[in-house]
Amino acid sequence: MKEESISDYPNNSTPEYPVRLWEIFLIVMGAVGLISTAMIGLGSKVLKNMFTPARAEAIARSLFDYKIPGDSQGIVGVNFGSKKIAIINSRKNPPDITLFMSKVPTEQIKDEESLKLDIALQEIYQGSFIPTSVKVKNQELCGKSVPVSIQAGKHILGEQSIPLDGVRYMAKITDNGIERNVNIIANGKNAQEKAAKVFNSLECRFE
């Protein structure tokens, strides 16, 4: 596939690790603050159901067909108005693959509260990702060629103090006034291969 552009940190240098505990604390607390703000206005029923694994998987399957090596489990599923969000993890503990998916009408993309919810859910349930190199390639998603950001870096999961080597794939596709976003993070051994396998398994579900 044709590579459009590649940008790396100066001299391919990698920041020193591990990340300090207070930095992790600030990241987590910031994400908690974001999600608290974003959830203001959501009904209690939505909040109660969003962490039901089966519901999260059902919402995810309404957005994309996907395959996660070693099976998967639903973590978060949100369905309010015309927006849907789902986060699916591998069954390993801690998870070595986490997949974020969302669908939203294009006219709602710049809605501030909607953006806060996306960011907060990813920070808390996917963990933080610190890229050390980035490249953008055109790859096929749902039958269309789209730019995909492929990042190598460090993955911080919750309160874990030692960042893991990881790879993140980020892409979006817009069709008929609907934008779909995917964010895949894989860590540990063969992270690149795992992330690529999940991305290549994605197929849009059109209602």
Element (H, E) at 79: strand 72-80
Q: What is the DSSP string of 149-175?
A: EEEEEEEE-TT-SSPEEEEEEEEEEEE
Amino acid 53 reads P
What residue ranges do the domains of the chain occupy? 3-204
How much is the average pLDDT of 192-197? Answer: 97
Determine the pLDDT at residue 16: 42
pTM above 0.85, yes or no: no
Percent pLDDT > 90 in the chain is 56
Question: Residue 108: its pLDDT value, please?
Answer: 80
Q: Which carries the bigger pLDDT value, residue 192 or residue 8? A: 192
Q: Is the pLDDT of residue 55 over 60?
A: yes
* Cβ 79 vs Cβ 59: under 8 Å: yes
Helix (H) or strand (E) holding 127: none
